[in-house]
Chain A
Amino acid sequence: MTDPDHDLTSALASLRPRPPGPAVTAALARELDPPAARRGVILAWSTGLAAAAALVLGLYLGVAPAEAPAPSYQLVRAEQSPANVEVLRPVRLDDGSFARPVRVRWDSTTQWEDPRSRTRFINFRPNETTTLLPLETY
């Protein structure tokens, strides 16, 4: 037994609707495929951005690393100059006693060196101290 609706549906489905005009196909092709000009702009931007990114990356990975590692300084010398003792004239203090000021000067120099770059870090420290030596009077 055949279904009359099914036969009719099949007959309808056998009809061939007319396709959209060529203008539609052409317009859709333009929409679905980015135009060459726009593609060129995108490509240009991409190239420019890629070049900039490569430059930054190159600076970061190529140039910067040569200077980037922290220098590892090693102590190579520690010096202290002979003290310069300067004895000054005696002075009278508030309590009536006398004292002799003595000023001592010396320098300290410490040197570190980074063996890779042969650079030296020199810490020069001048020192000065003054003290009073009590004087006994008879």
Chain B
Amino acid sequence: MIDAHADQDWRAWFAEHGARLRLIARQWTRSEADADDVVQEAFVRFWKHQRHLPGNPNALVVTSIRRAALDLLRRTDRRSGREQAVAAEAETMTWFEPEADPRQQALIQSLALLSAEQREVVVLKVWGELTFDQIGEQLQVSPNTAASRWRYAMEALRKHITARAHD
């Protein structure tokens, strides 16, 4: 089989993209530790079975992350939905490096106010670098639904940031 990325230094690739991959994994996991585990497992799966495939590996790695996250959720389904929702709201600040700029801090806090569905579209679009078609495939929704969630998310973020600016 021909390796389309024979010259690729995958350690360097992961060093460059690992942070945004972890943020994507965080959308479908319950803790930082789970996100680490999922990213590791997903990238190893990709590296073993799919790294030779042609094209941009990004979408394949994201797909691998989603599968690994869903596998983990099925294996460790022990928390209640309420606990998960609370955790998701509380932890958005830990998803990013600390920012000194108050506008960036406000933006991070604003992400926590989005619904989980809107937030995952935002993360997949901005940090996953996926198109709405690809996001639709990942989430098993139509591209229009993905685009609609994106528009609502942008509107909600803008409203929140504007409200904070007036405070």
Contacts and interface: CB of A to CB of B under 8 A. Distances in A.
Interface of A: 4-5, 8-9, 11-21, 23-25, 27-29, 31-32
B154 A20 contact: no
A19 B22 contact: yes
B77 interface: no
A12 B94 contact: no
Tell me if A's interface is mostly helix, strand, loop or mixed.
helix
B40 interface: yes
A8 B127 CA distance: 13
Contacts of B70: none
Contacts of A29: 11
Nearest 6 pairs between A and B by C-beta? A17-B23, A19-B19, A16-B97, A17-B19, A24-B40, A12-B126
A20 B40 contact: yes
Given A24-B40, A28-B44, A31-B44, A18 B104 contact: no
B100 to A, nearest CB: 12
A49 to B, nearest CB: 23
A32 B46 CA distance: 11
B121 to A, nearest CB: 12
Given A8-B158, A11-B104, A28 B11 contact: yes
Given A5-B154, A17-B127, A20-B36, A12 B19 contact: no
Given A18-B95, A32-B11, A11 B22 contact: no
